Amino acid sequence: MRGRALVVLGCALLMAGCATTVGGTASPASPPSEGKDIAAGEPCELLTPEQAAALYYEEKGQFTPGKPDQLVPAVCSFTPAYSDQSMDLLDIYFSVDIPLADYVAGVEPEWEKEIGGLTWARYPDPFGGESMCTIATELSPSSFVAIMSSNFSDESRSCEQAEAAAPFVSSHLPGGAPATVEPRKPSPLESVNPCSLLTPEQAEKLGRRGHGEYLEPGDLLPARCNWINADGDDRNTTIVGVETKRPAPDPETRSDGEPKKVEADGREWVVYGASIPGMCVADLAVTDRSYVSITVTDGVAETDEVCAKVEDAIPLVTKNLPKE
């Protein structure tokens, strides 16, 4: 499903143009690679661990050698760091012995734009259509680098990750501009206990018992506080979670319907019925890697009714959040 590769040449790394800033963890600009054999075509060296993490991918990619006789360059595949994000693999291809024109069979690009000091062009994919996006920059008549990303649930977003990675990749190529990873601002949720986000009076107003039970974080679950129904039925609950190290989940990976945006006190929550019957969730992204969630479960109610209970809780929880 990933399609074919696209390619690059290498000589000594030169830095040119203005610096590019991309969100994430602080990292110095990519330095010139003095003495480094860029001509070897090592695609995994075109993203540092810090840069990969800033793009929400695992810090190290998986290298696969190229097959020049089949017009397939070497590739480094980066796996998404978070399984609850609507993201596919990010592939970076680096070739020093395949002309770009040969690889794309002479097809003209759909568009060209400057990213990170280099000209990148999108080439149509004969297999994945608009759901797959390959952008490439030509370094010489016989070398190029290409970045491939995809989105099969929303083809309008298929180029998002490839274009986000392009400034970083450009910074390691001849003529590319230096790129820094923007320092990530600390989350105001760092010291927030989820059980503080509903007062006893507010919980009772929602038909819950006044005091919630704190639940430790799990692999995919944030620290949470669970308020059971006033009659003691623990199948009917309101759960508030606080996450400070991960981005908010993408509803596409968890939703059973169309997400709804709900505003409270100037903040925008995303409400969606979960794929589990009798469950509805609302997420509020506070920073790029922190969020608050509200989950209501009710095994005997319809999804619309459960989501209405989530919406009842939103203004109460929002009121108790720290100011940004």
For residue range 207-217, list pLDDT tens digits in order: 999 999 999 99
Q: Which residues contact 248 (CB under 8 A, 6 or more apart)?
A: 270, 283, 284, 285, 291, 293
Q: Which residues contact 279 (CB under 8 A, 6 or more apart)?
A: 273, 295, 296, 297, 306
Rg of the chain, C-alpha, whole Å: 23
Which pLDDT score is estimated for 6?
Answer: 35
Return the structure tokens found at 162.
């490839």
For residue range 221-271, list pLDDT tens digits in order: 899 999 999 999 988 999 999 999 999 988 877 776 789 999 999 999 999
Which pLDDT score is estimated for 40?
Answer: 60
Q: What is the 3-state secondary structure (H, E, C) of the chain?
A: CCCCCCCCCCCCCCECCCCEEEECCCECCCCCCCCCCHHHCCHHHHCCHHHHHHCCECCCCEEECCEHHHCECEEEEECECCCCCCCCCEEEEEECCCCHHHHCCCCCCCEEEEECCEEEEEECCCCCHHHEEEEEEEEECCEEEEEEEECCCCHHHCCHHHHHHHHHHHCCCCCECCEEEECCCCCCCCCCCHHHCCCHHHHHHCCECCCCEEECCCCCCCEEEEEEECCCCCCEEEEEEEECCCCCCCHHHCECCCCEEEEECCEEEEEEEECCCCEEEEEEEEECCEEEEEEEEECCCCHHHHHHHHHHHHHHHHHCCCCC
Return the structure tokens found at 109.
């690009």
CA gap 129, 124 in Å, rounded: 7
For residue range 22-68, list pLDDT tens digits in order: 444 433 333 333 333 455 679 999 999 999 999 999 999 999 999 98
Return the structure tokens found at 2.
């990933």
Q: Which residues contact 239 (CB under 8 A, 6 or more apart)?
A: 215, 224, 225, 226, 227, 293, 294, 295, 296, 297
For residue range 129-183, list pLDDT tens digits in order: 788 999 999 999 999 999 999 988 788 889 999 999 999 999 999 999 999 998 8
pTM of the predicted protein model: 0.75
In degrees, rounded to 5, the angle at the alpha carbon of residue 93 between the alpha carbons of residues 91 and 95 is 175
Cα-to-chain-centroid distance, residue 3? 21
Strands 179-182 and 20-23 turn out to be parallel
For residue range 281-315, list pLDDT tens digits in order: 999 999 999 999 999 999 888 999 999 999 999 99
CA gap 91, 86 in Å, rounded: 16
Calculate the CA dihedral of residues 214, 217, 221, 224 and round it to 10 degrees.
20
Neighbours of 280 (CB within 10 A): 28
Give the total residue count for the chain: 324
Which pLDDT score is estimated for 128?
Answer: 65
